[in-house]
């Protein structure tokens, strides 16, 4: 199978359709955005390299009925990656995502927003190989009936990666009795001079909030939708593109039953 190779050496937003095997490289000092869309059922292997002093703002949007993704990300010195994963497909997802902070001063901000109606399992690891590296992971998920959500979130700081930071936050909202969700945050730290934290919450919708919204005339469905949208909406504006933001906002509203 042939590997699709992309070398990005100019700014702006690049739209890339997900293929089975792909490699994306952001050239040194280049600042750009990528809108990665997955439309079909597939097994995808991706390597992403952000070279020295380069910035990448990545939005991955999954509409496939079944996605199995294996992604290796390498950040060179002072590289910056903001990666947002919109996982709102009705299908299943299995994702393994490993971020290597290879270069000094590199930073990765990883954010996932998921609507879970079937099985969606994530394994995201951020490995700090160099000093003064930052890895931030934020996960938001809304679990519907028959949803099966699993998030294994690992921050690993190797010996010698002093002055580094690893932070993880996961917020899970469960909307049904018939669901399963599991969040396992892990911090593996081999260096003293570091900062690290993790926070997790899994909970149902607050009945008092629901009542409050209903007293203003919103049906239960609309009230639920509004609260749910609050969880997921920030992902829609991940890329600085108004047209895309409003298109994705509308898709999210439709998915939670608002539109």
Tokens of 204: 């149902």
Binding part of the chain for another protein, among 36-44, 51-59, 110-118, 195-203 by CB under 8 A, reads: 195-203
- By C-alpha distance, which of 93, 72, 91, 68 is closest to 81? 72
State in angstroms the smallest separation of the CB of 216 from another protein. 4
The CB-of-181 to another protein minimum distance in angstroms stands at 5
Q: Which of 6, 43, 201, 247 binds another protein (CB under 8 A)?
A: 201
Q: For residues 139 and 116, is the Cβ–Cβ distance under 8 A?
A: no
Does 202 engage in binding with another protein (CB under 8 A)?
A: yes
- Shortest Cβ distance from residue 174 to another protein (Å)? 5
CB 34 within 8 A of CB 18: no
Would you put residue 29 in left (φ > 0), alpha (ψ -120 to 50) or beta? left
Give the whole-angstrom CA distance, residue 25 versus residue 16.
Answer: 13
Q: Does 226 bind another protein (CB under 8 A)?
A: yes
Specify the stretch interacting with another protein by CB under 8 A; choose among 14-22, 46-54, 62-70, 225-233.
Answer: 225-233
**What are the backbone dihedrals phi and psi of residue 104, each rounded to the nearest 5 degrees, phi first?**
-55, 140
Q: Which of 146, 206, 240, 247 binds another protein (CB under 8 A)?
A: 206
Q: Distance between CA atoms of 111 and 99, rounded to whole angstroms?
A: 13
Query: Which of positions 119-148 make contact with another protein (CB under 8 A)?
Result: none
Binding-residue pattern over the window 175 to 194 for another protein, x denoting contact by CB under 8 A: xxxxxxxxxxx---------
Of the pair 106, 139, the CB lying nearest another protein is at 139
In the complex, the residues that contact another protein under the rule CB under 8 A are: 170, 172, 174-185, 198-204, 206-209, 211-220, 222-223, 226-227, 229-231, 233, 258
């Amino acid at each position: 199978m042939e590997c699709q190779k992309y070398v990005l050496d100019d700014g702006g937003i690049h739209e890339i359709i997900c293929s089975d095997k792909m490699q994306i490289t952001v050239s040194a000092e280049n600042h750009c955005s990528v809108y990665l869309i997955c439309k079909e059922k597939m097994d995808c292997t991706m390597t992403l390299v952000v070279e020295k002093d380069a910035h990448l703002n990545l939005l991955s949007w999954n509409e496939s009925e079944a996605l199995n993704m294996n992604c290796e990300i390498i950040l060179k010195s002072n590289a910056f990656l903001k990666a947002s994963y919109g996982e709102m497909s009705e299908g299943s997802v299995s994702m393994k995502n490993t971020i290597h902070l290879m270069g000094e001063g590199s930073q990765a901000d990883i954010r996932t927003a998921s609507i879970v109606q079937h099985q969606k399992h994530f394994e995201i690891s951020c490995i700090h190989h160099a000093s003064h590296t930052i890895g931030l992971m934020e996960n938001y998920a809304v679990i519907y009936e028959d949803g099966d959500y699993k998030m294994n979130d690992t921050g690993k700081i190797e010996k010698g990666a002093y002055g580094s930071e690893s932070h993880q936050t996961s917020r899970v909202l469960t909307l049904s009795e018939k669901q399963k969700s599991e969040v396992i945050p892990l911090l593996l730290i081999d260096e003293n001079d570091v900062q690290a934290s993790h926070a997790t919450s899994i909970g149902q919708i607050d009945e008092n909030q629901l009542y409050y919204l209903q007293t203003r005339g919103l049906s239960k469905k609309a009230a639920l939708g509004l609260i749910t949208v609050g969880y997921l909406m920030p992902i829609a504006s991940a890329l600085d593109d108004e047209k895309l933001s409003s298109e994705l906002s509308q898709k999210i509203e439709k998915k939670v039953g608002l539109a």
